[in-house]
Each structure stands twice: as C-alpha cells, then as structure tokens.
Amino acid sequence: MSAVYDKVADILAEKFGVPTDDISPEATFEDMDLDSLDLVEFALAAEEELGVRISDEEAEDLKTLNDTVSLLESKGAKA
C-alpha cells in the first residue's frame, strides 16, 4: 500500500478506534461503523495530517477507503 493509505489507516485506527482488521482498501465507512459525524471529523483529520482540502461534495462521494486514498493522492497528499 501507499504511504497515504498507511497514514489514513493510522488515522482511522488511532483517532476513531477502528480495529485494524476492519481496515482494508475495499472497506466502506459503514463497514468501519463510522457515521456521518465521524466522516466529517475524519475528513478534517485527514486534511490536517495530509495537507489537502476535501470539499463537502467530494466527501459525500467517498464510499470506500480506496476512494478516499485515491482522492487524497490525486490532490497531492503527502504522508
């Protein structure tokens, strides 16, 4: 996996308590038991940690961890 993926996985595990066994590229946020408020907080944490901005519209389209990592990498996120 990429450095961005690893950083996102760390955020999910450390800040949101998602078990590492539940974190995979195909995992949806629903699979990881994150609700809409968690997703907002996750987007803010990812922005802060990776130095990119995620618009509300972009955040609404994110369904899986892979979607999120792809978006962040396309925006030049640095882990």
Q: Which fold has domain 3-74?
A: 1.10.1200
How many angstroms separate the first and last alpha carbons of the chain?
A: 12
All structural domains of the chain with their residue ranges: 3-74
| pLDDT confidence of residue 47 | 92
> Does residue 7 have a pLDDT over 80?
yes
To the question of pTM greater than 0.85 for the whole model, the response is yes
- Residue that has been written with the tokens 């922005």 in this structure: 47
Which neighbouring-strand residues pair with 28?
A: 64
Q: How confident is the model at residue 60 (pLDDT cuts 50, 70, 90)?
A: confident
- Residues 67-73 have a mean pLDDT of 95
